Each structure stands twice: as C-alpha cells, then as structure tokens.
Amino acid sequence: MTVQYYEGIGRRKASTARVRVMNGSGVFMVNDKPIEAYFTREGDMKDIIAPLEVAGENPSALDITVLVKGGGVTGQRDAIKLGVARALLIMNPDYRPVMRQGGFLTRDPRVKERKKPGLKRARKAPTYTKR
C-alpha cells in the first residue's frame, strides 16, 4: 500500500524545504524532530501553520513532514511556510485565491548581496584616513 502525499518545495535566502502533506493524525516533523523541538522561537510555529489556517484545513487531521537544508532559522521558517502553501495548493487548487491574498504563494527573492573586492562587506568601505 502506498501513502498518498502532496509535495511542495519552498525556498528563502539560502534555505530549501521539501514539504510533504498527507492525511493523518496531526504529526508535524521537521528533519525527523517534532516542530516544537526544531523551532523554539515564539511565533515561528504560528507563522508556519498560517497557510493551513487560511485554507481552513485542520492541522490535527494532516501529517506534515519537512526536510529543510541551509540558511538560518528565519530562512528555514519562511521556506517551510512556502512549501506548506504549495503542497496545499496541489492538494486542493481551490485554495489559490485565499493563498494569493494572504501572500503565501509569493517567494521572497531577497538574498544576501555578494562581497565586492576592496570592500569589507557588500557595501562597507574601509575607513578613509587622510594621512
């Protein structure tokens, strides 16, 4: 017997998240850990499950597994949020208007700017000395 799941890929900054949503008992795992253990900052959990709430899906009726790599906490959180939204869209295409209105289907394109030669960072120049 094969398990039916819906997959969505989310990206943000240097992070990539592969999200699988399937019918189940409300288990939310990130890199084989419970989501509460992986994201300890307050508000991260609420941000990640926001697409589920907008779509009207019950988080306790779905099993969600996530494989996330790269970046930091904020990038991974936003990558997972986009992946969840995309997986829900595959699950039910009727969610598109509410997801679009909530801004869950737009990938945030901002990434770290590259360092330029002769500068300390992307734009910070060394201190100018007159003598």
- Per-chain mean pLDDT for the chain: 94
Strand order of the β-sheet with 62-69 is 6-12, 15-23, 62-69, 28-30, 33-34
Tens digit of each residue's pLDDT (9 = 90 or more) over 27-62: 999 999 999 999 999 999 999 999 999 999 888 899
Structure tokens at 89: 């869209």
Tens digit of each residue's pLDDT (9 = 90 or more) over 44-53: 999 999 999 9
Q: Which CATH class is domain 6-102?
A: alpha beta
CA angle 52, 83, 20 (to 5 degrees): 85
Residue 94: pLDDT over 70: yes
Structure confidence at residue 20 (pLDDT) = 96
**Per-residue pLDDT averaged across 69-81, rounded?**
96
pTM of the entire predicted model: 0.90
CA dist., res. 4 & res. 56, Å (int): 20
Residue 115: pLDDT over 60: yes
pLDDT-based confidence at residue 14 (cuts at 50, 70, 90): very high
Structure confidence at residue 59 (pLDDT) = 87
Residue 1: pLDDT over 70: no
